[in-house]
């Protein structure tokens, strides 16, 4: 095989509802995930993206976000961008602009999303289990 030829990568996106995250698998290995909160009626607050350290700088994050957007589009859903990586991704393309929820778009600038992550939470944490 010449250096020009590329071996196709077998990828699969899974919606792990129990963990509240989309997971990207390459050749059966979990390589990245994106945490979300599903809101009604069909809105996804995209909260945090992670990539396995052994897969950094391989385009996993961008592939993951693009695949998640494609999945949400197929579900006729919308997104609220909270994760700085997702915000940055959206700022670089108009391909998924139609998915951003007009009433609850989230952040539009990565710096704002990042500073929100370090700000103290003004609301008390309320347990979901009573």
pLDDT tens by residue, 15-53: 999 999 999 999 999 999 999 999 988 999 999 999 999
Q: Rounded to whole angstroms, how far apart are CA atoms 88 and 81?
A: 10
DSSP H or E segment with residue 71: helix 60-74
pLDDT tens by residue, 62-112: 999 999 999 999 999 999 999 999 999 999 999 999 999 999 999 888 888
Mean pLDDT of the chain: 87
């Amino acid at each position: 095989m010449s250096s020009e030829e590329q071996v196709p990568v077998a990828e699969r996106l899974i919606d792990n509802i129990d963990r509240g995250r989309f997971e990207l698998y390459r050749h059966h290995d979990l390589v990245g995930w994106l945490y979300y909160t599903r809101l009604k009626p069909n809105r996804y607050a995209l909260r945090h993206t992670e990539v396995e350290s052994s897969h950094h700088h391989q385009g996993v994050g961008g592939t993951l976000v693009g695949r998640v957007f494609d999945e949400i589009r197929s579900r006729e859903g919308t997104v609220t961008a909270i994760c700085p990586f997702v915000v940055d991704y959206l700022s670089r393309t108009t391909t998924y602009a139609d998915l951003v929820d007009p009433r609850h778009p989230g952040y539009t600038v990565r710096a704002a999303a990042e500073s929100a992550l370090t700000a103290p939470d003004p609301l008390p944490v309320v347990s979901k289990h009573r």
